[in-house]
Each structure stands twice: as C-alpha cells, then as structure tokens.
Amino acid sequence: MTDKPESRPERSGSDEIDLLELFRNFGNFIARIFRGFFNGILQFIIFSIRKWLYLLVAVIVALAFSYFYPNVKQDFYYSDLVLKSNAVENQEMISYINRLGNLTSEGNYPVLASSLNIDSADAEKIGNIRAYWFVDKNKDGIVDEADIDNKFLADTSVSKVNRKFGVRATVTEPHIYDKLSSGIEYYVNSNDYFNKMNESRLDNLREIIEQTDSEVEKLDSLQKKEYFKLEDVTRFREGQLVFTNDPEIKLLHDDLLGLVRNRQASRRELSIHDSIISILEDFTVTRQPVNTAVYYAKTALPVLIVLAYLLALYITFRKKIHEAIRK
C-alpha cells in the first residue's frame, strides 16, 4: 500500500481575510473617535446656544467687575532690574536678594527700610522684590527666557545663564524705582562676606595683569630675538668644525595675541566691574499701572464663564444628579 502525503491546509487566503478585517476594524475605531469628537463639539455648541443667557450674564458680570474693581483696588506697578554678580555665584546672590522679598511678605517694613537705606514710608510702598534666573533653552549661549515664575528651576533640559540675573520689584508708586536700585546696591555692599570675596577677586585680577605684562614682555623679546638676531651657530666636536643647521623659527604671534586679549579682558573687568554687582539694565519707570481692567478681565472672564457652564449643567441635569447622589 502506498502512503499518501498529508495535505496541508492552505491558509494564504484566510490570512489575507484576517488582515483585511484587522485594518477594517482599526479604521472603524478611528472613525468612531472622530465622530465622537465632532459630535461632542456639536453638542457643546448646541448647549451653549440654548444656555446663552447664562453665558451673557457671566460676561456682563466679568466685564463689570474688571471695570469697577481697579477703582477700589490700589494701583501697582512692576519693573525689572538686570544685574551681574561679580564677587559670588548667581545662586548665592539670588538667595540673598530674595530675603528682601521675604521681608515684604512678612510686612517687616522697618527692617526692609534699614536694609535698603530708604525711608519707612517708601518701604511700605514696595509690594514684592524677587530675583530670578535667565534660562537658555537651546543651550546655545543665548538667553531665551526670564524664569520669573521659577518654571524651569528643576528642569534639567534647560541651562541657567550665569552671566546675569534679574530682579522684579512690585511697587504702588512708580517714583520708588528711583531709590530702589541704589537701595539694592547698598544692601549687597553691606554684606561683609561679599566684600571680602570681591577684594580677593580684584587682587587676583591685579596679579593676573601683572603676570601677563611680564609674560608679554618676555614673549615680545623672544620673538624679536628669533626674528632679527639669529646667527650661524658653530661648535667643535673631536677636533672638527661642525656647522649646525639654523634653529627652527617658532611663530609666537598667536601666543602673544592670546596674552594681550587676556590682559585686556582682565583690565576691562577691573575697571568696569569692580563692584560686587554691576547694573546692566536699570528699572524702567512706567506711569501705566499693571492692574488695569484688562488685567482683571483676563482672569475674571474664563472663571465666570466656567462657573456659568457648571450652573447651567446643574440646572439642566439636576434630577439625574440628585438620583445619582441618592444611589
């Protein structure tokens, strides 16, 4: 008897059907998502039209609040001071200046006035003082944003800019800015530790300049000797007169220029940034208060519109909500 080979089931057609069915189900799933999304938007629009009265009342209340509230609320202004910390790292200086902000939060105006060397009446017009970092998001050495709200404080994907930092001051009268920048300088210069660090930095700069002057003089003399005073060198060996090759001339131009640039940078630092901090940009005195009607409307409008929607939803579905609560 001859054995017949077992016949294997052909699955190619079945596999194609399964694959088509998979794509069809996936397409239907995506279509249902889009239909649900657009249906939700349509239902939202219809609900908003039906409950237009709630939204209109919310808008009117928000605009009225934004218009009248600034009349009873004291005006306030804010401006920014950009500083460079010369004696210590930015982190130390920012933490030290933020102590002034703690005094304003506590309402400790006598100590604030003494720290800034201003009158107590002027100190009471300061709402807040807060130092902040500048950040480099792309790590290309260019400042991208001022981190006023400390959004990037713990973000390792951005770099903090170390060459400068900012100070934002909020006041109730703009003329306070005329005294505030000098007051912050007085506050920083009163710190003994900062003064010692700055004196050490200045001494180091003077030593660097002095040493660089000596190195430049030596290099300049060496360069002149190699270029203009080279002579044939001869020597005797075992009774024979041997002529040596000319020594290789080393170009010292780049080394000399590098030292000169370093000396110029040190002199510039010593003459321009000789204090503990340097003011790069002073406070800008503005006459327009921050808390205008638009300022409050940006918050009041969205809040009251959301509350109007919640109220409308509750009134519309209050029976179902009460039944769900009872269950």
* Residues 115 and 146 placed together within one structural domain of the fold: yes
Check residue 233 and give its pLDDT. Answer: 47
Question: What value does the mean pLDDT take over residues 186-211?
Answer: 93
Does residue 237 carry a pLDDT above 70?
no
- Tell me how many domains the chain contains: 3
Q: Evaluate whether residue 5 is within a structural domain.
A: no
Q: Evaluate whether residue 6 is within a structural domain.
A: no
Q: Evaluate whether residue 283 is within a structural domain.
A: no
* Residues 59 and 112 placed together within one structural domain of the fold: no
* Residues 168 and 121 placed together within one structural domain of the fold: yes
At residue 197 the predicted structure's pLDDT band, cuts being 50, 70 and 90, is: very high
First to last CA, the chain: 77
* Residues 267 and 209 placed together within one structural domain of the fold: yes
Structure tokens given for 304: 């009251």
Q: Which residues contact 66 (CB under 8 A, 6 or more apart)?
A: 293, 294, 296, 297, 300, 301
Q: Evaluate whether residue 238 is within a structural domain.
A: yes
- pLDDT averaged over the chain? 82
* Residues 190 and 152 placed together within one structural domain of the fold: yes
* DSSP label of 41: H
Q: Evaluate whether residue 109 is within a structural domain.
A: yes
* Residues 169 and 117 placed together within one structural domain of the fold: yes
Question: What value does the mean pLDDT take over residues 91-113?
Answer: 94
Q: Evaluate whether residue 17 is within a structural domain.
A: no
Lowest mean pLDDT among 179-183, 260-264, 316-320, 322-326: 322-326
Give the containing element (helix H, strand E) for 68: helix 52-72
Tell which wins on pLDDT, 10 or 144. Answer: 144
Lowest mean pLDDT among 8-12, 57-61, 72-76, 202-206: 8-12
Q: Evaluate whether residue 227 is within a structural domain.
A: yes
CA distance 234 to 159: 61
Question: What value does the mean pLDDT take over residues 64-77?
Answer: 81
Does residue 326 carry a pLDDT above 60?
yes
Print the domain residue range for 130.
77-194
* Residues 108 and 152 placed together within one structural domain of the fold: yes
Question: What value does the mean pLDDT take over residues 317-325?
Answer: 80
* Residues 171 and 81 placed together within one structural domain of the fold: yes
Does residue 56 carry a pLDDT above 70?
yes
CA distance 308 to 66: 17
Question: What value does the mean pLDDT take over residues 180-207?
Answer: 94
* Residues 137 and 180 placed together within one structural domain of the fold: yes
* Residues 49 and 131 placed together within one structural domain of the fold: no
Check residue 290 and give its pLDDT. Answer: 77
126 closest CA partner among 97, 158, 155: 97
The whole-model pTM stands at 0.66
* Residues 81 and 153 placed together within one structural domain of the fold: yes
Residue located via tokens 């590098």 = 258
* Residues 189 and 88 placed together within one structural domain of the fold: yes
Q: Evaluate whether residue 1 is within a structural domain.
A: no
